[in-house]
């Protein structure tokens, strides 16, 4: 579990499934993530996220809860770049990602959660580099990456056939442990 001033990031649990289907699998939330998934895909994704916490080197996608009212509001985690379209130097690297339920957008929760996850990644997990990916069409995530201090790496941008033309190319960003420590 990771705690911040306003949030608690908890490992995913099976009782997250109805909330994921209702609040996180909407067209708005999934717009820049390849679109809404079917119920089986959502359930399989949650099962994989739960199983990953049992692995010592597994990825971590925490469920974000608000402290004040104990409501789930989103997810944030560390993964490995899995896209087969990603350049060789990027594929398999550590990556951060986040999503929030639409009604919680614009309140600073994603930035707060991402900072906590970056602290975990560079601290407890001892990652030297963490990447982030988005597209120019995802203005909110692009702004957030800049705000967090990520550097854009245009030489690693790539076209991902799993995403529509308006969400391509995938833009690649990087944060190093040294930069993170200097900003902290």
Supply the pLDDT for residue 59. 82
Q: Render the chain in DSSP notation, one character per residue.
A: -EE-SSEEEE---GGGHHHIIIIISSHHHHTTTTSPPPHHHHHHHHHHHHHHTTSTT--EEEEEEETTT--EEEEEEEEE---TTS-TTTTT-EEEEEEE-GGGTTSSHHHHHHHHHHHHHHTTS--SEEEEEEETT-HHHHHHHHHHTPEE-GGG-B--TTS-GGG-SEEEEEEEHHHHHHH-
What local confidence, expressed as pLDDT, does residue 3 receive? 96
Closest CA to 170 of 144, 141, 149: 141
> Left if phi > 0, otherwise alpha if psi is -120 to 50, otherwise beta: which for 149?
left
Complete domains list, the chain, with CATH: 2-183 (3.40.630.30)
pLDDT value of position 56: 75
pLDDT at 142: 95
Kindly report the number of other CB atoms within 10 A of residue 28's CB atom: 11
Q: pLDDT tens per residue, the chain (184 residues)?
A: 999 999 999 999 999 999 999 988 888 887 877 777 889 999 999 999 999 988 877 689 999 999 999 899 999 999 999 899 999 989 999 999 999 999 999 999 999 999 999 999 999 999 999 999 999 999 999 999 999 999 999 999 999 998 889 999 999 999 999 999 888 7
pLDDT number for residue 36? 79
In angstroms, the Cα distances linking 56 to 59, 60, 124, 161 are 9, 10, 12, 32
Residues 64, 67, 72, 75, Cα dihedral to 10°:
-10
Supply the pLDDT for residue 37: 87
């Amino acid at each position: 579990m990771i705690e911040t001033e306003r949030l608690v990031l908890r490992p995913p649990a099976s009782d997250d499934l109805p909330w994921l289907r209702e609040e996180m699998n909407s067209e708005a939330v999934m717009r820049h993530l390849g679109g809404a998934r079917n119920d089986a895909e959502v359930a399989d994704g949650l099962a994989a996220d739960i199983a990953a916490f049992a692995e010592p080197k597994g990825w971590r996608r925490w469920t974000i809860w608000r402290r004040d009212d104990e409501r789930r509001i989103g997810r944030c985690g560390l993964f490995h770049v899995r896209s087969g379209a990603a350049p060789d130097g990027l594929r398999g690297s550590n990556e951060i990602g986040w999503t929030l339920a639409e009604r919680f957008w614009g309140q600073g929760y994603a930035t707060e959660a991402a900072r906590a996850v970056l602290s975990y990644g560079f601290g407890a997990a001892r990652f030297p580099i963490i990447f982030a990916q988005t597209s120019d069409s995802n203005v909110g995530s692009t702004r957030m990456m800049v705000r967090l201090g990520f550097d854009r790496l245009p030489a690693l941008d790539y076209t991902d056939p799993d995403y529509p033309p308006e969400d391509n190319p995938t833009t690649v960003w990087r944060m190093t442990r040294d930069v993170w420590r200097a900003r902290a």
